[in-house]
Amino acid sequence: MEILWFLIAIGMLVAVLTPWIRRRRGGVGPQLVAPGSPDAADPADYGFVRQEQLDIRVPGPDEDLMDALAVVQGTQKWQAASRLLAGTPAEGEVRWQRVQAFAGAAALELAQQPGTGAGWLKAWRLEAEEDPGGAQVHAEFLVQQAWRQSGGVGSTDHRIILEEAREACAKAAALAPGDPVPYITELAIARGLAYPPAEFDALWAKVIDRAPAHMGAHIAALHYLCEKWHGSRAQADAFAQAAAARAPQGSLLAALPLFAVYEHLPDVALVRDFFGSAVVSRAVEGALYAAHGARADDPMLPHVRHLLVFFLVNGERWAEAMEQVSHVDGYVGALPWSHNPDPAHMYAVFRALAVGGYEANGGSPATLPH
């Protein structure tokens, strides 16, 4: 899967750079320059964060989360994480994102320190078995371990860990019956274990009964629907379009069709002028409209903006891409970057392309709206 996404990323870069190369050969249009040249576009001129300082854990700022993570990882004590989740409303997007972030931090810690990392999560489960937050983080941690470290989809280890995660989700759900997070976490398990449609539908009903407009849940459901052995592209697109059509005013569900288009990139990435096609244009415009109408503090807004950067750069819509970059820069814990083995590098490449295209068409730090 990592190789596939690497090849796709290379294909995207070729698609973006080819028009520039052609124009350069013809002596017109934007000129490509060598890195380090005085004329090269420099993201630092815009105050953007250096690649090595990009935060791969989260899609956007969450100071309370960062403070709790710093305490937990600095002291290896879980109580700060428990208090934060206990004070986070169950039905919103923030709780789901914070559960993912704690689980991701534990997974990264364990990968860096095999056998000894993430001791705080082990202690949390042992010392507070009835804590819903700890149960949810543990379930999500197992899911992330299955997808990251188990030897690949379909392997015995992958299935074993996902079965364990399924049991953990059931325990977490029992501890907090009204909380949608355990069921949203199980959507990733449904994908990995290839739930039959009827079983998936029953799970999805539990999600929407608790949080009908939860965008993170809809994105997770798309992952399931887009797998070739679960459904067709038409079914996934219909799901996204229906969710967008019934989205409440100001809801980012109107951007869901763009996520559906992204899910099918492996099938269409090499189609000529795909990023200028009517299908992509409609999805991009819908996402731009949704982002414009959303609350500035909507926790899913950074997710939409990150995906817009990807599509706008590939569509050579430089000024619009730069506007999105200016909103999300500093954080890369979101699609499409999180599908890459090095999220910060992939994001930095697209950011550099956005800066280069923007300046080649007359833009500058002084003209970028803030």
Residue in the structure block whose two tokens are 């992958």? 158
The pLDDT value given to residue 34: 37
The pLDDT value given to residue 49: 95
Domain-terminating residue out of 216, 231, 246: 231
User: Does residue 217 fall inside a structural domain?
Assistant: yes
The pLDDT value given to residue 216: 94
Domain check: are 40 and 68 in the same one?
Answer: no
Residue in the structure block whose two tokens are 């590939």? 314
The pLDDT value given to residue 11: 47
pLDDT tens readout for residues 304-325: 999 999 999 999 999 999 999 9
The pLDDT value given to residue 232: 65
Residue 7 pLDDT greater than 80, yes or no: no
The pLDDT value given to residue 66: 96
Mean pLDDT over 170-185 rounds to 96
Cα 185 from Cα 365, distance rounded (Å): 41
Domain check: are 364 and 283 in the same one?
Answer: yes
Domain check: are 155 and 58 in the same one?
Answer: no
The pLDDT value given to residue 322: 97
The pLDDT value given to residue 158: 87
pLDDT tens readout for residues 104-155: 999 989 989 988 889 999 999 999 999 999 999 999 999 999 987 766 666 8
Strand partners, 55: 331
Residue 15 pLDDT greater than 50, yes or no: no
User: Does residue 209 fall inside a structural domain?
Assistant: yes
The pLDDT value given to residue 268: 57
User: Does residue 345 fall inside a structural domain?
Assistant: yes
Domain check: are 325 and 222 in the same one?
Answer: no
Domain check: are 299 and 226 in the same one?
Answer: no
Residue 159 pLDDT greater than 80, yes or no: yes
Domain check: are 47 and 69 in the same one?
Answer: no
**pLDDT band for position 277 (50/70/90)?**
confident
What are the backbone dihedrals phi and psi of residue 215, each rounded to the nearest 5 degrees, phi first? -70, -40
Domain check: are 58 and 83 in the same one?
Answer: no
Residue in the structure block whose two tokens are 């860990």? 161
User: Does residue 269 fall inside a structural domain?
Assistant: yes
Average pLDDT in the chain: 86
**Which of 123-127, 227-231, 297-301 shows the lowest per-residue confidence on average (mean pLDDT)?**
227-231
Cα 254 from Cα 244, distance rounded (Å): 4
The pLDDT value given to residue 150: 60
Candidates 247, 265, 248; CA nearest to 256 is 247
Residue in the structure block whose two tokens are 């543990």? 138
Residue in the structure block whose two tokens are 């950011």? 351
**pLDDT band for position 276 (50/70/90)?**
confident
Indicate the burial class of 116 (C-beta count within 10 angstroms; 0-12, 13-18, 19 or more).
exposed
Mean pLDDT over 5-9 rounds to 41
The pLDDT value given to residue 270: 56
Domain check: are 156 and 173 in the same one?
Answer: yes
The pLDDT value given to residue 35: 36
Domain-terminating residue out of 231, 264, 290: 231
User: Does residue 241 fall inside a structural domain?
Assistant: no
The pLDDT value given to residue 10: 42
Mean pLDDT over 27-51 rounds to 59
Domain check: are 89 and 17 in the same one?
Answer: no
**pLDDT band for position 29 (50/70/90)?**
very low
User: Does residue 10 fall inside a structural domain?
Assistant: yes
Residue 27 pLDDT greater than 70, yes or no: no
**Which of 11-15, 133-137, 152-156, 295-299 shows the lowest per-residue confidence on average (mean pLDDT)?**
11-15
User: Does residue 149 fall inside a structural domain?
Assistant: yes
Residue 86 pLDDT greater than 50, yes or no: yes
CATH of the domain at 119: 1.25.40
Domain check: are 85 and 15 in the same one?
Answer: no
Contacts of 244 (CB under 8 A, 6+ apart): 253, 254, 255, 256, 257, 286
Q: Judge whether 207 and 217 are in contact, CB under 8 Å.
A: yes
Domain check: are 186 and 259 in the same one?
Answer: no
* Number of separate domains in the chain: 2
Candidates 55, 149, 59, 54; CA nearest to 98 is 59
Strand partners, 331: 55
- Domain housing 298: 1-62+254-370
Domain check: are 216 and 127 in the same one?
Answer: yes
Q: Tabulate helix, strand, coil % of the chain (nearest 5).
A: 70, 0, 30
Mean pLDDT over 166-190 rounds to 96
User: DSSP letter string over 130-186?
Assistant: T-HHHHHHHHHHHHHHHHHHSSSTTSHHHHHHHHHHHHHHHHHHHH-TT-SHHHHHH
User: Does residue 141 fall inside a structural domain?
Assistant: yes
